[in-house]
Structure 1
Amino acid sequence: MEKRLKAFEGRPCAVAGVGKDPVNAPMIRHWCEAMGDTNPAYAGSDAVAPPTMLQVWTMGGLSGHTGRAEAYDELLALLDEEGCTSVVATDSEQEYLRALRPGDEVGFQAVIESVSGRKTTKLGTGYFVTTRMEVRVGDGLVGTHRFRILKYAPARRRAGAPPETALLPRPVVNRDNEGFWAGVRQGRLLIQRCTGCGTPRHPWLPGCNTCGGPDWDTVEASGEGTVYSYVVMHHPPFPAFSPPYAVALIELAEGVRIISNVVGVPYDKVRIGQPVRLEFQEYGDELVLPVFRAAGEAV
C-alpha cells in the first residue's frame, strides 16, 4: 500500500490555475475587517494585500477551477478504500516573496509533495498528505503554500461512551505562542500588547499589525467578555468530541477576540452578545484550556 501511495509524490494536483478574481480592494477590506487588522498598509491608493491572504486568491469557490488534475482525487479515493475516510487539516505553511497589490492577476500550480507512511495518532491511524502550491504573478513567483492533512480511520469509541479526553487534539506550541500557553497552564490569559503603539493583539504574533513594531509586552485579561459570533458543529464526528456543540468567537473586554467554547448552557442556548466569564478547564494531567462560562450559570 505504501508503495502505491508514494507513487503519487510529485504528481500535479493543479495545473495552470488562474485566480477567479484579480487582487482587489473589497476582498482586502473584508479580510481586514474579519481579522480586526487595522494596518494602514492595507488601505488607500498604495495598499497591498495582507500576506496571509495568499491562499484566498487561489480559491475556486463552489464552482471550482478548470485545469484541476485528477491525481489528488485518486489519492484520496485510494485512502478511502483503506478505511481512511476521515480527514483533518494539521498544518499550513506559507512563504511570501513579494507583496500582492490590487490588480495583480494570480496564477498557481500545485503538486503532491509527500505522503507519509502509516501513522497512529490520537484521532486514529492514517497517512499525512502534503501539497505544495506555487503562486505567481506573470512569470514571477510571489509565494508558496504547503498544506498538510491527515486522512485517517477514526479510533473506535464505544457507543454511548463519553468523549475521551486523551484523544483531544493538543495545541501547536511554537516560539511565537509558547508564552501564551505557559500563561494558560498558570491559569492566566495573557494578551500581547505592542510597546510602540499600545495595540493589543491575539493570537500571538511576532510583530504588530498596526505599526509593524517588533517589541511587545503582555497584559493579563480580566476574564470578562461577550459572544461576538458562534457556530454549532454537527459534523464531522471525532472520537474526542460529541456533536452538536458550539464554538464561539469571544470578544474580550481588552478589545481582542479569541475562539473557544461556551460552557454552562446547551449549545442551542448560545447567543450573540451573551456575556461570558473566563475559566480554565483541565483535561487529564497534561492539557489546560481557556473556556468561557455563560454569565450567571453556576459551576
Structure 2
Amino acid sequence: MSHEVAVDEEFEKRLKAYEGRPAAVAGMGKDPVNAPMIRHWCEAMDDTNPAYEGEDAVAPPTMLQVWTMGGLSGHTGRAQAYDELLGLLDEAGYTSVVATDCEQEYLRPLRPGDEITFDSIIESVSEEKTTKLGTGHFVTTRTDLRVGPDLAGTHRFRILKYTPICRGGGPQVRQPKPARSRPVVNRDNAAFWEGVRRHRLLIQRCTSCGTLRHPWLPGCNACGGLDWDTVEASGEGTVYSYVVMHHPPFPAYDPPYAVALIELAEGVRMIGNVVGVPYDKVRIGLPLRLEFQEYDEEHDQEHDEKLTLPVWRTHEADRPGGDV
C-alpha cells in the first residue's frame, strides 16, 4: 500500500468518526411559530391555502426549517463537532461549500404559539466524490424538531464541501463549453416539458374549480382536485421579481445574468432567464415576451435531442438596435 493511499484512508476514517456526533444540542427557535412569518412565507410562495389563516391556522409544513434558523447571530446550541468537521475539510483543501438538497418529514402540524426545540446530529459524511463543481465530501445533518416532548418533524440538510476545479495555470487550452444541466422530468411535469419541446408553454388547469397553477403539481392547491387539463400561455408577462447571478460561475453559464420570477398574463408565475437587455437594466414591472431557445447542439453527447428552454425577451429588444 502506498503512503498516499494510506493517508487517504486515514483521512476518511477521521471524517467517518464524526458520524453520529451532535451538530446542535438543545437548540431553541428564536421565535415561536407565529402568524406574521406564516403570512410572509405564503405571500412569497403565492400560497393562498385557507388552512394557513384564521383562528385554527397551521404553518405550511415546508416552513419546518424556518423555525430553527439562527439568523446572523447564530444559535447558542451549536455543537463543536460540526465546526471541527468543517475545519478539518477546510484544512484538507475542501474550502468551498454549496447546499445540495434537503429532505423533510412532517409528523404533526405546527400552530402559532408553538415553541420549537431541536437537536441536530451529523448523520453521514460521504467518501470523496467527484462532481462538476469539483471533488469533495457530502455532509448530511439531521435535525429533529419538537414541541414539548412531541416530535414534530425531521429535516435533513446536505452540503458539499469541495475543492473547486482549477481552470488556471499553465497554457490555456480551448475546451468546448459544457452542456447545460437538463431539467428533472417526472410523471408530474412531463407534459409541460413535452410542450416546451414543441414550443408551447402549457399551464395546468384544475378541471374541478378552473384554477391555473404553475409549477405543475399532481393536485390542485385550491380545491384538492386531482384531474386537470391545460391552457396554452399567450407568451406575455412582466418581471414580478428578479436576482442577478454573479457567483458561483457554473461552467455552462456566463455570469452575470438575470433570473426573473415572471408573472404571466394568465396570472401564474414562473422562473426564467431575461434576454435582450443588460442584466443591470432588468426592473420589476418590465414587460416581457416568451421565446424558446435551443442549446447543446454540439456539446451534449448524452442526449439525442437538443435542450429547449423557455426564455423571456424584453419588448425593448424588439426595436431596431434593442438586442444586446
Q: What is the TM-score normalised by the length of structure 1? A: 0.91
Over the matched positions of the two proteins, sequence identity in percent amounts to: 78
**2:80 — aligned with what?**
70
Alpha-carbon distance between aligned partners in 1 of 2:198 and 2:168, rounded to the nearest angstrom: 34
Question: In the superposition, relative to structure 1, how do residues 25 and 254 fare at CA in structure 2: closer, same or farther (>3 Å)?
Answer: same
- Once the two structures are overlaid, the 10-residue window that deviates more, 23-32 or 182-191, is 182-191
Measure, in 2, the Cα distance between the counterparts of 1:200 and 1:292.
20
Q: What corresponds to 1:95 in structure 2?
A: 105
> Where does residue 218 of structure 1 map in the other structure?
230
Report Cα offsets for 1:191-236 as digits up to 9, x if no partner: 2222222212222223222223333333222221111111223333
Change (3 A) 1:179 1:147: farther
Taking the aligned partners of 1:93 and 1:32, their CA distance within structure 2 comes to 20
Which one has a bigger Cα radius of gyration? 2
Pairwise CA distance, 1:190: 2.5
Deviation, 1:36, is 0.8
Q: CA-atom RMSD, angstroms?
A: 2.4
- Superposition map of 1:199-278 within 5 A: 199-278=211-290
Residue 314 of structure 2 is matched in structure 1 by 294
Give the conservation status (yes or no) of the 8 Å contact 1:17–1:68: yes
**Greater displacement, 47-56 / 157-166:** 157-166
Q: For structure 1, which segment, 282-291 or 155-164, has the greater mean C-alpha deviation from structure 2 after superposition?
A: 155-164
- Consecutive unaligned residues of structure 1, counting only runs of 5 or more, are none
Amino acid at match of 1:11: R
Residue type at the aligned position of 2:215: P
Match of 1:60 among 60, 65, 70: 70
SS of 2:114's equivalent in the other structure is coil
Task: Tell me the residue number matched to 2:8.
Answer: none
Larger displacement relative to structure 2 (121-130 or 149-158): 149-158
- Of 286, 291, 295 in structure 2, the residue corresponding to residue 283 of structure 1 is 295
Q: Distance in 2 between matches of 1:122 and 1:237?
A: 12
d(CA) in 1 for partners of 2:89, 2:60: 35
TM-score, normalising length from structure 2? 0.84
Q: Aligned equivalents of 1:24 and 1:30: distance in 2?
A: 11
Report if aligned partners of 2:126, 2:138 keep a CA contact under 8 Å in 1. Answer: yes
**Alpha carbons 2:178, 2:251 under 8 Å: kept:** no
Equivalent of 2:19 in 9, 14, 35: 9
1:226-271 per-residue CA deviation (whole Å, 9 max, x = no partner) reads 1111122333333333332222111111211112211111111111
Q: 2:178 aligns with which of 149, 166, 172?
A: 166
Q: Residues 62, 162 of structure 1: CA spacing in aligned structure 2 closer, same or farther, 3 A cutoff?
A: farther
Structure 2 stretches lacking a partner, 5+ long: 1-10
Residues 220, 161 of structure 1: CA spacing in aligned structure 2 closer, same or farther, 3 A cutoff? Answer: farther
